[in-house]
């Protein structure tokens, strides 16, 4: 059994199926039926790529692997079973002889007041779709705003974290909003404002300084305000207060400070290294011959740097998936086991348009050449949809982007503090499409308004750790609302009013599935009220 179909889990399932040649029953447990190519998510949020372009069907590309849709809730290592919850709330128990934990990572939260309520992450397809809708809505509302202050607040966008993800989101976001204001002009002398914040002394601190300087120059030339040594001290409905004391009025806070291992790893009550399961160079958990781990959930020794562990990047996860598949097969008597070693291929950072920063095989590139290398790398690294992605890039080069709101994902559907960002969550006790009062849209009443205090969420404050978001090469590293001002859309998700139950050994801590009302009951209540 393989838990998780991210870079490590997908590669492990595909490689293991090829090695065993139907001599083993392989089960893949995942909440969705697709593999998500995370490095291209910023292009989805910017309207360059359609959402399905960055997804690869699991059943279509893994024909000899049994796919089970669901989330792992608890692991019984002694009983060799995994308890899971299906997409419609059904519970099941799945047996295993060998278990590969490749559950990946979730958004990393810091103890900053208001962030859990007012910020959104950027780790999943729903979050990218929400950001695209949200940015489009804010620009349209800013264009129709009655005063300059309100217009400025709506077209100000704050991105926290200048790693791979945050840098690409800010770079693509600035181009996206600039294109939108050509269709929806703002008040005279105003343009969208993007701020990129990071406590480090430069953008892309994990990369070579030459690439960092290239990215910094492109961002500043494009108009992005890059503020190093600065982060958010407090987030409110009206804006964010920075660590330097400045208050920035905004309706958009994108949280890209990094990731933390999935809580399922911690729930196993085994030795950890900053939340990741400790494994040997063969990706096996010591003392548990049936348990393997790979990707962001595993602390894998770096054999080239004694005493260090490989970073949490998609490039490492992709390679570890292949290695763990060979070692699982070897434990079954098929082939030889191998230790995990890696060779740095370089980095690429997509800065939007024809701009990028890259150093393939250590050769620093910038401008058009880096852009060509970056897109070529992504096409080569994707396990599917290459022709469709290339076609979308071609169309984007010759046609204007379609800046429309689809309204498919609402703010309360993508809370920041969740162990399953890939799943859209309905609000407590209310189906997203229904409005039993017959009044304002349900989304506007799903969170606290100005001056209101949101119900306490689960204890999600995390101490900083060196985990980082996947990068493009190390990875191969949001109904229009009238601008009335009295009932603004809450920027954050609804939180649970009761704290989560204490975990038991092997149980995953996450938000439960919430049952919504049926259409018939909501319709009846609405008309009875009228």
What's the pLDDT tens digit per position in 325-374? 999 999 999 999 999 998 888 889 999 999 999 999 889 999 999 999 99
pLDDT of residue 249: 97
- pLDDT on residue 244: 95
Nearest Cα to Cα of residue 165 among 38, 312, 34: 38
Q: Is the pLDDT of residue 57 over 90?
A: yes
Q: What integer pLDDT is reported at residue 465 of this predicted model?
A: 40
**Residues 38, 45 contacting (CB under 8 angstroms):** no
Of the pLDDT bands very low, low, confident and very high (cuts 50, 70, 90), residue 184 is confident
CATH 3.50.50.100 segments of the chain: 125-257+347-413
pLDDT of residue 377: 94
Which CATH class for the 2-31+70-106+260-343 domain? alpha beta
Among the residue ranges 92-96, 315-319, 363-367, 387-391, the one predicted with the least confidence is 363-367
> So what's the pLDDT on residue 464?
39
The answer to whether residues 159 and 194 touch, using CB atoms and an 8 Å cutoff, is yes
477-503 pLDDT tens trace: 333 343 333 333 433 333 333 444 444
- Between 407 and 14, name the one with better pLDDT: 14
Q: In this structure, are residues 117 and 308 in contact, taking their beta carbons and an 8 Å threshold?
A: no
Question: CATH 3.50.50.60 in the chain, residues?
Answer: 2-31+70-106+260-343
The whole-number pLDDT of residue 420 equals: 78
Q: Give the pLDDT of residue 82.
A: 97
Over range 205-223, report the average pLDDT: 93
Can you tell me which residue has the tokens 């030889």? 336
Q: Write the pLDDT tens digit of every residue in 132-157.
A: 999 999 999 999 888 899 999 999 99
Read off the tokens for 463.
């101490």
CATH number at 125-257+347-413: 3.50.50.100
Q: Where are the alpha helices (DSSP H) in 21-147?
A: 41-45, 58-61, 115-118, 125-143
Alpha-carbon distance values, 101 to 89, 107, 270, 394 (Å)? 22, 18, 13, 38
C-beta separation of 205 from 187 below 8 A: no
Q: What is the pLDDT of residue 103?
A: 94
Mapped onto helix, strand or coil, the DSSP state of residue 210 is helix
Between 317-321, 387-391, 420-424, the lowest mean confidence (pLDDT) is in: 420-424
The 10s digit of each residue's pLDDT in 461-482 is 333 343 343 333 343 333 334 3
> 353: which DSSP letter?
T
The reported pLDDT for the residue numbered 109 is 85
C-beta of residue 520 within 8 angstroms of C-beta of residue 430: no
Specify the pLDDT at position 508. Answer: 54
Cα(231)–Cα(199) distance, rounded to whole angstroms?
6
Distance of alpha carbon 99 from its chain centroid, rounded?
A: 25
Please state, in angstroms and as integers, the Cα–Cα distance from residue 313 to each residue in 188, 206, 310, following that order.
44, 11, 8
Listed range (75-79, 394-398, 504-508) with the worst mean pLDDT: 504-508
Task: Give the mean pLDDT of 392-417.
Answer: 89
CA distances 256 to 106, 107, 119, 231, 418, Å, are 11, 8, 10, 12, 15
Instruction: Render pLDDT for 267-279 as a digit per residue (tens, 0 to 9).
Output: 999 999 999 999 9
Separation of alpha carbons 516 and 426, rounded Å = 7
Specify the pLDDT at position 203: 95
Q: Strands 276-278, 272-273: parallel, antiparallel or unpaired by DSSP?
A: antiparallel
Task: Name the token pair of 380.
Answer: 């080569």
Structure confidence at residue 357 (pLDDT): 94
Tell me, what's the pLDDT at 273? 94
Cβ(261)–Cβ(276) under 8 Å? yes
Beta strands 232-235; 225-228: pairing state: unpaired
The two structure tokens encoding residue 23? 């001599």
48-52, 61-65, 103-107, 391-395: segment of lowest average pLDDT: 103-107
Q: pTM, whole model, 2 decimals? A: 0.80
Tokens of 439: 């009044």
Name the residue with tokens 């750790």.
465
């Amino acid at each position: 059994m393989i838990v998780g179909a991210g870079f490590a889990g997908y590669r492990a399932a595909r490689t293991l199926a090829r090695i065993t040649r139907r001599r083993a029953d392989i089960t893949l447990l995942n909440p969705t039926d697709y593999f998500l190519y995370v490095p291209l998510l910023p292009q989805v949020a910017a309207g360059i790529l359609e959402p399905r372009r960055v997804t690869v069907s699991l059943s279509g590309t893994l024909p000899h692997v049994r796919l089970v849709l669901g989330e792992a809730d608890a692991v019984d290592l002694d009983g060799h079973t995994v308890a899971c919850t299906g997409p419609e709330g059904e519970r099941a128990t799945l047996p295993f002889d060998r278990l590969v934990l490749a559950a990946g990572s979730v958004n990393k939260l810091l103890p900053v007041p208001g962030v859990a309520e007012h910020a959104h992450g950027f780790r999943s397809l729903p979050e990218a779709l929400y950001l695209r809708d949200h940015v489009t809505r804010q620009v349209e509302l800013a264009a129709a705003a009655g005063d300059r202050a309100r217009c400025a607040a709506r077209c100000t966008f704050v991105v926290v974290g200048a790693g791979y993800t945050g840098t690409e989101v800010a770079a693509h976001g600035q181009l996206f909003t600039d294109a939108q204001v050509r269709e929806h002009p703002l008040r005279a002398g105003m343009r969208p404002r993007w701020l990129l914040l990071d406590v480090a002394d430069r953008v892309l601190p994990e990369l070579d300084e030459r690439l960092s300087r290239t990215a910094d120059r492109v961002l500043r030339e494009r108009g992005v305000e890059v503020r190093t040594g600065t982060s958010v001290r407090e987030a409110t409905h009206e804006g964010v207060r920075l660590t330097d004391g400045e208050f920035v009025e905004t309706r958009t806070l994108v949280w890209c400070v990094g990731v933390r291992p999935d809580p399922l790893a911690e729930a196993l009550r085994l030795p950890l290294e900053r939340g990741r399961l400790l494994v040997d160079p063969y990706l096996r958990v010591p003392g548990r011959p049936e348990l393997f781990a790979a990707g962001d959930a595993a602390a894998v020794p770096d054999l080239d740097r004694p005493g260090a562990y490989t970073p949490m990047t998609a490039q490492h996860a992709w390679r570890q998936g292949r290695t763990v598949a060979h070692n699982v097969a070897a434990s079954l008597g098929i082939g030889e086991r191998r230790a995990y070693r890696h060779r740095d291929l370089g980095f690429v950072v997509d800065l939007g348009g024809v701009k990028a920063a890259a150093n393939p095989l250590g050769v620093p590139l910038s401008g058009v050449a880096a852009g060509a290398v970056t897109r070529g790398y992504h096409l080569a690294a994707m396990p599917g949809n290459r022709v469709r992605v290339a076609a979308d890039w071609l169309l984007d080069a010759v046609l204007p982007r379609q800046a429309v709101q689809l309204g498919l994902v609402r703010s309360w559907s993508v809370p920041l503090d969740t162990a399953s960002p890939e799943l859209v969550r309905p609000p407590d006790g209310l189906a997203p499409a229904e409005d039993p009062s017959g009044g304002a849209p349900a989304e506007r009443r799903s969170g606290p308004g100005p001056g209101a205090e949101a119900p306490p969420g689960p204890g999600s404050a995390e101490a900083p750790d060196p985990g980082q978001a996947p990068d493009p090469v190390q990875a191969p590293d949001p109904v229009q609302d009238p601008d009335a001002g009295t009932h603004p859309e809450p920027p954050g998700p609804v939180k649970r009013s009761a704290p989560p139950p204490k975990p038991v050994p092997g149980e995953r801590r996450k938000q439960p599935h919430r049952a919504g009302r049926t259409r018939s009951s909501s319709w009846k209540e609405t008309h009875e009220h009228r």
